[in-house]
Amino acid sequence: MTQQTVLTGITTTGSPHLGNYVGAIKPAILASRDPGTDSYFFLADYHALIKSHDPEAVRQSTLEIAATWLALGLDPGRVTFYRQSDVPEITELAWILTCHTAKGLMNRAHAYKAAVQENLDAGEDADFGITMGLFSYPVLMAADILMFKAHKVPVGRDQVQHLEMARDIAQRFNHHFGELMVVPEAVVEEHVAVLPGQDGRKMSKSYDNTIPLWLPQKQLRKAIMKIVTNSLEPGEPKDPADSALFTIYAAFASEEQRAEMRQAYADGIAWGQAKQQAFELIDGELAEARERYQALMATPAEVEGVLETGRDKARAFATPYMADIRHAVGIRPLA
């Protein structure tokens, strides 16, 4: 089989939590080590501007997320790791694609429709607070993907529609101008763990139930101690299937450790003890990376340097390809 290009985008808003680590970061880093793939990872900071209008927050999140991926072992020598805003060809392509994207297609985007519905429910004007950035979000995302001729794009369920739109846009472009674009495919990981948060619902910023990935040891322990359990006493058998704590433990455990913990639940392990074991397991997995993370956060120039090298690699591909695209649509030298 020929080399597959896999592209992963990370919006630079907020700070990473354990759910991001288990559900996205860890599997993506593992997958990037497959010799059959040519991986692109980028920080979608222009996407961040849609949600966040706080400059310091955008910068801080960009640094935290870059440091996180590097600390956890993303190898910038093997993959292309860059910042969206460092590759001006992406926004250039976004404009060209905008001129070939039906407005009706964008009207159907879930995120946009949800924002309109919220307005209507609140008795507001349908357009209240909706920027062109939010409306055009899927076009910029299509440009991210098409710019690097990605074959595969790993995404969560909520992004599948955006991938459909990127396919649609690529096909339309090819139909008009010849087969210049690769039509990408979404890859939805079915078996990746969805981590519950401290309250048992899916760990998510919007539920305020997250455990930040890089809490110092003591605070990590405290956060794990706060995971909700029921009132069963030590000695009473407990049901792993009904326990957020077990699910969190299991996401970090080996097959063997999982089986042992299952048995411990049946034998009536005390909740406090089960939490202590979860803490030790999670802390053990993160401790070394946490030190690397802290070192990177203390030397942002180093992170910047990595991203600059990534930018040069990304542009080495994007610049000549963009010249072909520009030519194809008629933006050409006159003589």
**Where does this chain bind ligand TRP (CB under 6 A)?**
7, 9, 11, 44, 47, 141, 144-145, 153, 155, 159
Tokens of 49: 């501007």
* Closer to ligand TRP by Cβ: residue 138 or 240: 138
Closest approach, Cβ 107 to ligand TRP, in A, equals 18
* 3 state SS of 196: strand
37 DSSP β-pair partners: 4
Q: Which is nearer to ligand TRP, 240 or 310 (CB)?
A: 310
User: Based on the number of CB atoms within 10 Å of its own CB, is 158 exposed (0-12), middle (13-18) or buried (19 or more)?
Assistant: exposed
Closest-by-Cβ residue to ligand TRP is 9
Tell me whether residue 188 or residue 316 sits nearer to ligand TRP (CB atom). 188
State the minimum distance, in angstroms, from the CB of residue 171 to ligand TRP.
17
Closer CB to ligand TRP, residue 4 or residue 229? 4
CA dihedral angle for residue 232, residue 235, residue 238, residue 243, rounded to 10 degrees: 60
CB of 159: closest distance to ligand TRP in angstroms? 5
As measured in angstroms, the least distance from the Cβ of 238 to ligand TRP is 35
Instruction: Say how many C-beta atoms besides its own lie within 10 A of residue 66's C-beta.
Output: 27
Which amino acid is it at 262?
Answer: R
Is the torsion defined by CA of 303, 304, 309, 315 positive or negative? Answer: positive
Minimum separation from the CB atom of position 315 to ligand TRP (A):
17
- CA separation for the pair 159, 121 (Å, rounded): 24
For the chain, counts of helices (H) and of strands (E): 14, 5
Number of Cβ within a 10 Å radius of residue 323 = 13
SS3 58: helix
Provide, rounded to whole angstroms, the least separation between the CB of residue 290 and ligand TRP: 24
Q: Which is nearer to ligand TRP, 40 or 249 (CB)?
A: 40
Query: Of 58 and 153, which CB lies nearer to ligand TRP in the complex structure?
Result: 153
